Amino acid sequence: MNSPDNSFLASFIKIDKKNTAPVYVQVAQQIINAIQRGILSAGTALPGSRPLSKLLQLHRNTVVAAYDELASQGWIEIKPNKGSFVVQPKREKPQSFSPLNTSTLNYPQQTGFHFYQPHHLTPPYETTKASYTFNDGQPDIRLLSVSNLSRWYTAAMKRKSVVKQSFSLQESSIYEKQLCNYLNATRGFHISSKNILTTRSTDMSLYLISQLLIQPGDIVLVGTPSYFSANMIFHQAGAQIKTIPVDENGLDVEYIRQNFQKNSIRCLYCTPHRHYPTTATLSAERRLELTTLARDYGFAIIEDDFDYDFQYDTFPMVPMATADTYGMIIYLGRFGQSLLPAFQTGFVIAPEHLILAAKNYRQMIDKQGDFILEHALAEMIYEGEIHRLLKKSVKTYKERRDLFCEQLEATFGKLLQWEKPNGGLAVWINFTLPVSLVQLAQEAQKNDLDLPKYLLYQDQKTCGLRLGFGHLNEEEIPEVISRLKKAYDAVI
């Protein structure tokens, strides 16, 4: 007959085949539960691996792995030739060095010392309980198969070579090499892994570059209106931000020539493919003028191509950096926009010596990185999975853009001025009759619609919104525009 402990374990341990946790982990967790509840007391001898495996109808190696897990956590002690015995882990109360009775004190809400609070770094993002919300042009994660993405990540994590390489620092990773191949094939580059730096986001890329490029007091040019996150980064670096006009052809390059002198500008930040937030494309003529002016005036161009992949009606213009023979352009991009946000990465393309300096800087703030994710992305590029996902998503987003524009026309008519963008995931609208955008956002909240403040652009000349449509499906698009119109009517 079975001993009492064996009979108990047989009734206590239940294996759930639907549980994603490995079987040996389930066995270990249930034994830990019994120890914590005092059912298995310290000194209790557990059954051998063979009897327990037979009792639970499991492979003996599974039971051995469960015992090893318990031993590694300090719940049992395995004595050779004697057996496995329960050990009650010691839970010693930490000693206090304070003479005060700290049990009645709360953790302080403020520091007892002064520190610099940068107001320009106050995040514009807010939480909301509204059923519907706008953003500045983000993809719809509902279009993705999470199981497929987890399959790629899990496959990369199981490779011993990947785990081993994650502990060693290499000049270039497999991901950087595959990303170079991808960009050379899709964006007209002719680069090697020495010219690329991968980061966790485009904002991180811009932060690294700003730390290397900008000194306090340096003049940085941006379009008006401009990307709020980039402005925050430049402010943090101590830059003097100067704005230049933007029209339907993009940045006004002639304005730079008329209002600035040579060698007075440190760099210019632009999003030429689709200016943020207005979505205006920098014309080919102005691109040539800008690169020539940068060479003559001695300033760097930071070309941020954050939504290059989403192009609908025409072929995209190749990046300005592909024709840069003087080393004046730093190219920033985002890879994996058709994936979950956690799978998206940023990258920097620049001359080799700048990339080397940026990699050294990255080592200080992100030495570990995410080697497993990068290996998974490298395999997705190599196997063509990225191309397939992007092709499917572009078709869907084009249909959503068309529906969004149709609903704007039908609902607002001449109350708005806007152009259908040839790509991207957002539409820039201007109100024909200026209204208070703050009041509009407040009225939208009353209609269960969130209109975040970072989408609002208002001054003496501008009364506009950047409205993302990518995250909205065919049923949601008419609903959010209808609610926006109700808010507008209330303000009027």
User: What are the boundaries of each domain within the chain?
Assistant: 4-86, 132-143+390-491, 159-383
Residues 6+ apart with CB under 8 A from 67: 46, 49, 76, 78, 84
Q: Are 372 and 157 in contact (CB under 8 A)?
A: yes
Work out the percent of the chain whose per-residue pLDDT is above 70.
92
Alpha-carbon Rg for the chain, nearest whole angstrom, is: 29
Q: How far apart are the C-alpha atoms of 436 and 270, rounded to whole Å?
A: 28
pTM exceeds 0.85, yes or no: no
- Tell me what pLDDT residue 127 has: 81
pLDDT of residue 2: 44
Q: Which residue has the tokens 């490779």?
A: 159
Count other C-beta atoms under 10 Å from residue 169's C-beta: 11
Burial zone of 189 (CB within 10 Å; 0-12 exposed, 13-18 middle, 19+ buried) = buried
Is the domain spanning 159-383 CATH 3.40.640.10? The answer is yes
Furthest CA-CA distance within the chain = 98
Predicted confidence at residue 170, as pLDDT, reads 54
Distance CA 331, CA 319 (A): 8
Host H or E run for residue 61? helix 60-72
413 CB-side CA count, 13 A: 1
> How high is the pLDDT of residue 1?
40
What CATH number does the domain located at 4-86 have? 1.10.10.10
CA distance 275 to 290: 15
| Predicted local distance difference test score (pLDDT) of residue 150 | 85
What CA–CA distance (Å, rounded) separates 349 from 339? 22
Q: Class of 132-143+390-491 per CATH? A: alpha beta
Provide the pLDDT for residue 166.
56
Q: Which residues of the chain have pLDDT under 70?
A: 1-8, 89-105, 161-172
Q: How would you classify the pairing of strands 240-247 and 250-251? A: antiparallel
Closest CA to 428 of 226, 188, 269: 226
What's 423's DSSP letter? Answer: B
Res 230: pLDDT: 95
Over the chain, what is the mean pLDDT?
89
Q: Quick one: which of 16, 51, 438, 382 has its CA closest to 185?
A: 382
